[in-house]
Structure 1
Amino acid sequence: MAMVGFGEFLLAFLLFVLIYYWRLNRHAPITNWPVLGMLPGLLLNLSIIFDYLTMLLKHHRGNFMFEGPWLSNMKIFFTSDPMNVQHITSTKFENYGKGDDFREIFEVLGDGIFRSDSQLWKYNRSILHSTFKQVSFQLFIHKTINNKIESCLLPFLDHAWKQGTEVDLQEAFQRLTFDVICSTVLGFDPTCLSIDFPEVACEKAFTELEDAIFYRHFTPRCSWKLLQWLQLGKEKNLKESQEIVDQMLYKEIASMSKVQGESIGNSTPEEEPRFSLLDVLISEVGKGKLDDKFLRDTAINLLAAGRDTISACLTWFFWLVATHPSVESKILEEIHEKLPAREGNGKDLGVEWLSQLTYLHAAISETLRLYPPVPLEHKCPLKSDMLPSGHWIKSNTMILYSLYSMGRAEEIWGEDCLKFRPERWISNRGGIIHIPSYKFIAFNAGPRSCLGKAISYTEIKMIAAAILWNYRIQLVEGQAISPRVSVVLHMKHGLKVTLTKRSI
């Protein structure tokens, strides 16, 4: 009889250990395996990662520590506890920054506002806050959005209606919002949204960047660093996409610097001066004081925020409205009553009128609750700290609070938390109910609260009102609706619809 070899013995031992751990943890939602840690369970559920994390957080009462493979130093504390979020974002704000892990994962953002900490972050925020407050800049953004709706969005939808063709609303919104944010930040319109849907390399590159960045969160650092060094897989895609985006940004910055003296303050009354957020920054801070690298980092941060968050919210909003006819009827009734008529069948989308669309505002907020454009936020403590939940967090531990899970927490929103019900936002007097930002955290909370919150609501309302007033949206049957695995909560397969012109 042959002797049992060392290899067979080792294999049998490993199988015994795995079976033992499986029996010990078979009723638990995630297993901490020998050597591999909790990574197998996470990878097996990566395609439904946001719902999987929601289930885990519910099982663990809003908090749990994820442990990766041995020796990988991969530990992530997940939370959906609003008291922890308030502690992290406000009470102990100075102790919680982005951290080294975040800066490595999001290195493409450079030293922009979303990646910076401490004094650099304060500087970035102060100059952007000053610009965002300017009435002239707010009017410019409103005018830019309105022009794109009239000249591109409505003609595009009208063509699709006349031709009887299906439209992927998600792609249309991504193209529209990319045009808007490029026009706003750079003074350059790439005209992504047109009838023929041209392929625009820089717009497509943003999606590639998001996908690669997301996978860095759940891949051991040594693994994605190796792939980066070898230029393989998503790391290769990330580098190529960054080069495309950088080429576009530096080209526009060079063009901007060249005409800066002519475009602000030196135009004749007959011609409209060039205007963009970067132009305003250069003018505010002083010509020559902001180098091209700073302008590039500022631009890519704002482009990522202005394109993806708005387009994601719009996509989920129209899916929810299309599946809730009573909500659509109430929005249309409000538009009919509150917005003045324009020539033809149009409605005045002025900011003063949009502010009266309470029910539309509530429906957008309800969309953001259930489908926050950024489903996970990343923090890291400088010093070890005790959270309100009683968890002791060591310094430099990655913390991810799940906005997606918080929107589905019964403890925050009640037993009907999974229902799309805009009425939960409206008071008995007909106004919008204020929900603390550490509970409704789509726009972040504390000192890092989103500077563009008001602008975002305005843009979403303008686009939503224009489409709903002019067209009836019908979902194409048989399509699977689910979140895409990315840093922004896009739909995995887009949103296919057909259009019918309204005669109101």
Structure 2
Amino acid sequence: MHTRDHNVNRVLAARDAHLHSTLPLYYLCLRAGYRSNNPAVLPTNWPTLHMFPSFVANLHNLHDYFALVLAGSGHNFRAHGPPGTGMRLFVTCDPANIRHIFTTNYTNFPKGAEFAAIFDIMGGSLFTIDGELCRQQRAKVKGVLSSPWMVARIAACCRDKVENNLLPLFTNMESIGTPFDMQEMMSRFMFDLGATPLFGVDPGLLSSDMPPMDVAVAMDTVMEAGFFRHVVPASCWKLMRRLNIGPERKLRVAHTMLRGFIVDMMERRKINTCHIGNDEEQEGVDIMSPFLNDPDYANDELAHAMIIGYMLAARDTVGTTLTWIFYNLAQNPNIVSIIRNELSPIASTKVAARADAMVIFEQNETKYLVYLKAVLYETLRLYPPAPFERKTVAADDIMPSGHELGTGDTILISLHSMGRMEGIWGKDCLNYNPDRWLSEDGNKLRYVPSHKFLAFNSGPRMSPYEVC
């Protein structure tokens, strides 16, 4: 009986301690949330907790919050977490600082071990590594993806998916007046388009029966948990992982789901490869072939990490961008008219089966369309698929803005904010205006340096997935 009473007292004491510690934090978060409604107010540097309450209060809308703060702080600000958390942040969208970080002194700003820990399921892949290993793997990936055979293969997969799945679904839904979620549709489309050339097998997520999106949801969980790990102290999410609670519990389930999917697709790939002639097999029937045949990439964990990294890069970047393009076209019918006029000369050369039949454009037919590219770039400016980049300071340094950074500091580069800065893009920075990308005569794209437009990264880490 005595032991039971003792345990009850311990629970009550723990509860009281929890209330005493969380209620002040809750109050500060409410105050921080109230103050954040005023764009002119920078994050309050509270005693002990520093700016942490402001971040927590705005976690649901952190990218827009950063844009407000950066607009009022000259494109740069510092932030610190509570003592003992090791959170020393420098947040920037300053093009001069970005050029310094990504190009001028890029070796001093690796992604770092903490970034690799945050996205541990992609550990060892191009997404998380630095230095010479990154250079070698990047060269390998770029060589595979840019080979004429692979470019043709990906283009064929894209055409097939558009012609036989996407357009028939759109036509059917339009004919019966069925509403649909464009974001979900683009997610399904890019999931299949990422996986098919990767494995040589179509997972069939974009089909008339609309199968469950469990694997795609697992990919969302990886990115959501990664965002959570970015903005809380490492000790916090590591404790949650050890206790298997909160976002870490969902992440563990997602890891299992993704690895199971890869094993299944690799088995289907083997079966598919057995039915292909020797000549085609030697050339490589999919993106994975050159890696699986290379001893440097024979490790299963590394192969899984690279597959997940590639699929996230394909689905999240293009799928998100396509969704925002369609959204903005719906808001701007005049832009749709300009695109139609640009496509019209090409369309006139095609013979449709029926007067109302859809016309499909080939990659080589659209690659030189200037205004269509301007629409893409304007979408990426305002709605970058990766809203921020994270870097670690390897050695003490001074930014072009004059800010002094210490070894171990974390830098957050806000791409979302950069596209919304009047000092970078002018007074109409919040307007969706593809014309800003055109030369005066409108016949070519205006040059914009990558440290001002970071959608494809910059410097030595320029994205190997960029398609011109």
TM bracket (short chain)? 0.7 to 0.9
- Deviation of the 1:37 alpha carbon: 1.4
Q: Deviations over 1:397-447 (max 9, x none)?
A: 111100011111112211111111111111124101121011011110001
Aligned equivalent of 1:193: 206
Question: Would you say the 8 A contact 1:263–1:274 is kept in 2?
Answer: no
Mapping 1:97-246, distance limit 5 Å:
97-246=110-259
Question: Would you say the 8 A contact 2:157–2:193 is kept in 1?
Answer: yes
Mapping 1:86-97, distance limit 5 Å:
86-97=99-110
Q: Secondary structure in 2 aligned to 1:360?
A: helix
One-letter amino acid of the structure 1 residue matched with residue 106 of structure 2? F
Point out the structure with the larger helix share. Answer: 2
Measured at CA, do residues 331 and 289 of structure 1 come closer, stay the same or move farther in structure 2, by a change above 3 Å? Answer: closer
User: Greater CA deviation, 404-413 or 342-351?
Assistant: 342-351
Partners of 2:414 and 2:308 in 1: CA distance:
24
Query: Where does structure 1 lack aligned partners over 5 or more consecutive residues?
Result: 1-6, 458-504
Aligned equivalent of 2:430: 418
Measured at CA, do residues 117 and 263 of structure 1 come closer, stay the same or move farther in structure 2, by a change above 3 Å? Answer: farther
Aligned equivalent of 1:389: 401
Partners of 1:147 and 1:259 in 2: CA distance:
18
Aligned equivalent of 1:302: 310
Aligned equivalent of 2:412: 400
- Deviation of the 1:264 alpha carbon: 6.9
Find the partner of 1:334 among 334, 338, 342.
342
Question: Would you say the 8 A contact 1:192–1:198 is kept in 2?
Answer: yes
Q: Secondary structure in 2 aligned to 1:379?
A: strand
Q: Deviations over 1:40-93 (max 9, x none)?
A: 111111122111000111111011111111221111110000011011101111
- Deviation of the 1:250 alpha carbon: 2.9
Runs of 4+ aligned residues of structure 1 deviating over 4 Å after TM superposition are 24-27, 254-264
Question: Would you say the 8 A contact 1:113–1:301 is kept in 2?
Answer: yes
TM-score for the superposition, normalised by structure 2: 0.87
Question: Would you say the 8 A contact 1:444–1:450 is kept in 2?
Answer: yes
TM-score for the superposition, normalised by structure 1: 0.81
Equivalent residue pairs, number: 436
Q: Deviations over 1:205-264 (max 9, x none)?
A: 111211111111111211111110011111000010011101111333355467768757
Aligned equivalent of 1:30: 43
Q: Secondary structure in 2 aligned to 1:78?
A: strand
One-letter amino acid of the structure 1 residue matched with residue 365 of structure 2? W
Measured at CA, do residues 255 and 165 of structure 1 come closer, stay the same or move farther in structure 2, by a change above 3 Å? Answer: closer
One-letter amino acid of the structure 2 residue matched with residue 80 of structure 1? C
- Deviation of the 1:289 alpha carbon: 5.8
Partners of 1:279 and 1:333 in 2: CA distance:
42
Partners of 1:46 and 1:324 in 2: CA distance:
31
Q: Deviations over 1:286-305 (max 9, x none)?
A: 6x862322221211110000
Partners of 1:256 and 1:167 in 2: CA distance:
32
Q: Deviations over 1:281-336 (max 9, x none)?
A: 345x36x8623222212111100000011111011111111101111111111111
RMSD: 2.7
Aligned equivalent of 1:474: none
Q: Secondary structure in 2 aligned to 1:297?
A: helix
- Deviation of the 1:265 alpha carbon: 3.5
Question: Would you say the 8 A contact 1:178–1:192 is kept in 2?
Answer: yes
Sequence identity (%): 31
Partners of 1:388 and 1:262 in 2: CA distance:
58
Query: Where does structure 2 lack aligned partners over 5 or more consecutive residues?
Result: 1-16
Partners of 2:312 and 2:378 in 1: CA distance:
23
Find the partner of 1:48 among 38, 61, 64.
61
